[in-house]
Each structure stands twice: as structure tokens, then as C-alpha cells.
Amino acid sequence: MNVPATGMEACPGVFVTGTDTDVGKTLVSAILAKAWGADYWKPYQTGVASLPGDTETVAALLGPEGGHVLHAPACVLQAPLAPWAAARAEGVTLEMAGLRPPRTAAPLVVEGAGGLYVPVDDDHMMIDLAARLALPVVLVARSTLGTINHTLLSLRALRAQALPVMGVVMNGPPSPGNREALERFGQVPVIAEIPRLERVDAASVAVAAARIPALAVLARAVRSAG
């Protein structure tokens, strides 16, 4: 099901995915956008019937400063389901083959929906979108018990499709043992650890962003590894 990136112009930035849903992708996406002065785009947004969209959440977390551009989703769906299932419930036909990234002057942080094997349409999964956009992947993982299995499986799936992995962001209480295991057995750097925040707001995002390595440094490491 992998879609080659042939014909798609790679843009600087990253594709943020997770080992699971509700693992912290939106918070991490906001932190990365703040750290790198990046734009933000979530192509497929679901679940707006019950919760605010992630684009609105990221806008609040970035605050009014920084000049970030938040690009509108390609598709917004009501039910808190995978895009494929939510679209079917609304009688909407999704075709990932027609998706094009927005043109940006800044780096672009793209947030996926759910994990890598969440279906987008009848023929494609979220991992296929990562391949199509030709961006290195940042994998968001929980720091707590169970993360080793979920994260290593996700890394194996990415490597099976020859997708470049920039690194893992661990979200939750610090766990030195889990970090060591992920870096050793996953052969990937943990580029950040985001502890449980007392308040999730623009100020806390700015503090976390100050600890993120520069995008150019991480991108060079990906090229060297490739």
C-alpha cells in the first residue's frame, strides 16, 4: 500500500505520527512548530462533533507571536473515527491520491491522524500519506509501560517502507529505562522528552520548544543515516 513519493516535491519539515491515538501528537506538533518557526497542517481532521479541531488547538498553543501559518485541513469530518470510517458515515469519498501539501515559505509540521495503520481511504493508510509527502517522520510515543512494544513495532513498519525516521518524542513522566530501550533496540534517537505539563498553554509550549534540537541539525542526521 506504500505510495512512492515520485512526482511530489519534498518540502522541508516533518510528518508527526504516533504509536496510538491520544498519544500527544497535537501537543508535540505545536512544540515543534514553535521551536522551528514552522507552519502547521493537519490534512485529515475527524471528531469535531465533540471536540475542537487540532488546528484550533495548535493555534491556541502557539499564541499570537511567531508568524506561524496554520493551513486548513483538506477534509474535516464529524465523527471521532479514522478518516476512512468517518467519511463513510457522512457519505464523503476520500481519495488520498489527489492530496497536495500547501505551499510554504517556512518548514511544515504535518500531523497525521492516529497511528500509522489508520485507514485514510479505501486503498491507503496513514503510513502511505507519510510516504507521499516525502517528509522525515517524528514518532510520538508514551513514556509509560507498554511503549517499548508499540514504538518498536511502529519503527519496524516505517523501515519496512524505507521511510526516514528523524526520531522519537516521548510524552509523559520521564522513564530513563524506556528511553534506553527505545534508542538501543529501535536504533533511533529520542529527540525530546515532554514531561506531564501542569498547564498546557502557550507559555508551557514555548518552554518545551526551547529544548528541541534545531531542525537543520536533525535533518542532517537523517541524511547521514540514509
Res 6 pLDDT > 70: no
Which letter, b or e, does each residue of 160-192 get, where b requires 16 or more Cβ atoms within 10 Å of its Cβ?
Answer: eeebbbbbbbbbbeebeebbeebeeebebbbbb
Q: Tens digits of per-residue pLDDT, 112-160?
A: 999 999 999 999 999 999 999 999 999 999 999 999 999 999 999 999 9
pTM (whole model) above 0.75 = yes
Res 65 pLDDT > 90: no
Q: What is the CA radius of gyration of the chain?
A: 16
- Ligand-binding annotation for 114, yes or no, is yes
Question: From CA 157, how far away is CA 161, in angstroms rounded?
Answer: 7
Res 60 pLDDT > 60: yes
Active site annotation includes 34: no
- Ligand-binding annotation for 113, yes or no, is yes
Which residue among 13, 16, 29, 42 is the active-site one? 42
Could you tell me the CA-to-CA distances from 34 to 41, 77, 163, 177, 181 in Å, in that order? Answer: 14, 27, 25, 29, 28
Res 195 pLDDT > 70: yes
Percent of the chain with pLDDT over 90: 87
Task: Return the pLDDT at 98.
Answer: 86
The whole-chain average pLDDT of the chain stands at: 93
Task: Return the pLDDT at 11.
Answer: 52
Task: Return the pLDDT at 2.
Answer: 37
Res 1 pLDDT > 50: no
- Ligand-binding annotation for 46, yes or no, is yes
Q: Tens digits of per-residue pLDDT, 95-117?
A: 998 899 999 999 999 999 999 99
Phi, psi of 221 (to 5 degrees): -65, -40
